[in-house]
Amino acid sequence: MNKIIIIFLSFILIFFNTLLASEEKNKNLKIGLLAPFSGEYKNLGDSLLLSIQLALDEINDKNVIIVPRDSGSNDKEKLNQSIKEIINEEVKIIIGPIDSEDFEEVKKYEDIIFISPSNIYPEITDNIISIGISLDSQLDAIKDFLIKQKKNKTIILFPENQYSKFINSKIKKTNLNNYKIFKYNPDPKILTGEIEKLTNYSQRKRNLEIRKKNLLNKDDPASIQELKKLEQKYTLGKVNFDSVIIVDFGNGLKSVLTSLIFSDVSENDVLFTTVNQWFDESIFYENSLKALFYPSVNYKNFKRYNQNYINKFKVEPNEITILAYDALGLIYYIWKKKGKIVSVKDFYIKDRVKGKIGTFSFNEKKVFQELNIYKAENNKFTKF
């Protein structure tokens, strides 16, 4: 009888200890981080890790544990090795990869959830959720802005390169009315001529010369006054569009803006918009455009994040690290709300989740960001 009792008590003890271990395990939220800590993008990887540390400090929950591993730079073997090492640490959710080209590689880890800062695919596909500032969200924000500004003849410009098909497919999904697509050569020397054709620059210049010539021999006050005004112009006549959307960045964007201004496209007649520029201040100094509008993350939050990062680590962050910061916040929000995270379906929530970059919402297996429209004017960014 005593032997039976001892066996029974031993069984209860084992069961109880297993239960405690299970409860202790469920108290912790283990999150993997895949970042390039070696290779070409090592600096980005280091910056991502620091942004995660900043988020951890603000969450201030000792039950959140980060397991970082080096994904390398364009190294499939290292990527897979790192994922396996993270899985061995009993991690079920990973922040990364940062490159959408790795998506096909990580899909085979069906039981693991990947939260990627990539901005290529906003759809929640298989086991991957992308929370980057997607072109879909940006184009939707611009479309709504143009409608409010009563613009209905839009030219969408983007360079002819490896992303052209991708951009074209996203434009078709926006349901923007009455628009035309104009693909240009990235070479600035060729671009200028292409923009001149788009804006009918040669004909408008001839219009001016013809009109001035007709007024030269007239001496009535109205003709003299008109001629004086025409002397201040470069062309005569308007372009056949009232707004432009330029899907380009850096020097490419600046070249397009310069060519449009050179072709005498008036800001009084045409509204200039572009995609997210991460508040690049060089826009102020390298073109003569007075006002440029674009959708972006919350500027105050972006500045506050950057300042906190600099104060803590004494270096400036890479722009996309704020996405990793928000990824951790999003995961933590879902975990606290549901008590556990089992699959990507746990992220199909009706809530609007506020982060540093703005507000997330999830609908029809897609991630949407509610972006603000900002105006770059007079050497400052203003929420419009």
Q: Residue 283 maps to which CATH number?
A: 3.40.50.2300
156 and 24 within one domain: no
pLDDT at 16: 35
6 and 94 within one domain: yes
Distance (Å, whole) CA 103 – CA 83: 13
140 and 195 within one domain: yes
Distance (Å, whole) CA 274 – CA 246: 5
Contact criterion met (CB below 8 Å) for 296 and 278:
yes
The helix (run of H) or strand (run of E) holding residue 14 is helix 2-27
User: What are the C-alpha distances in Å from 221 to residues 226, 333, 378?
Assistant: 9, 72, 37
Q: Residues 48, 51, 53, 55: is their CA dihedral positive or negative? A: negative
Contact criterion met (CB below 8 Å) for 106 and 128:
yes
241 and 365 within one domain: no
Distance (Å, whole) CA 220 – CA 210: 18
161 and 116 within one domain: no
The low-confidence residues of the chain, meaning pLDDT below 50, are: 1-24
Distance (Å, whole) CA 209 – CA 215: 10
* Cis preceding linkage at 186, omega within 30: no
pLDDT at 310: 96
285 and 162 within one domain: yes
Contact criterion met (CB below 8 Å) for 209 and 184:
no
How is the chain split among helix, strand and coil, in percent rounded to 5?
45, 20, 35
The helix (run of H) or strand (run of E) holding residue 182 is strand 179-184
pLDDT at 43: 93
200 and 178 within one domain: yes
94 and 10 within one domain: yes
268 and 208 within one domain: yes
Closest by CA to 130, choosing from 371, 335, 368, is 368
Distance (Å, whole) CA 138 – CA 124: 18
207 and 345 within one domain: no
193 and 120 within one domain: no
The token pair that represents 338 in the structure block: 């549901």
292 and 145 within one domain: yes
Contact criterion met (CB below 8 Å) for 340 and 63:
no
Contact criterion met (CB below 8 Å) for 143 and 173:
no
- Strand pairing class (179-184; 154-159): parallel
- Strand pairing class (359-363; 366-370): antiparallel
Total tally of structural domains belonging to the chain: 2
Contact criterion met (CB below 8 Å) for 332 and 346:
no
pLDDT at 69: 95
pLDDT at 23: 44
For 164-235, strand residue ranges (E) read 179-184
Domain that holds residue 145: 136-296+374-383
Closest by CA to 29, choosing from 62, 58, 53, is 62
pTM over 0.75: yes
Largest CA distance in the chain: 128
What is the b/e burial string over 364-384, where b = at least 16 CB atoms within 10 angstroms of the residue's CB? eebbbbbbbbbebeeeebeee
Q: In which order are the strands placed within the sheet that holds 359-363? A: 353-354, 359-363, 366-370
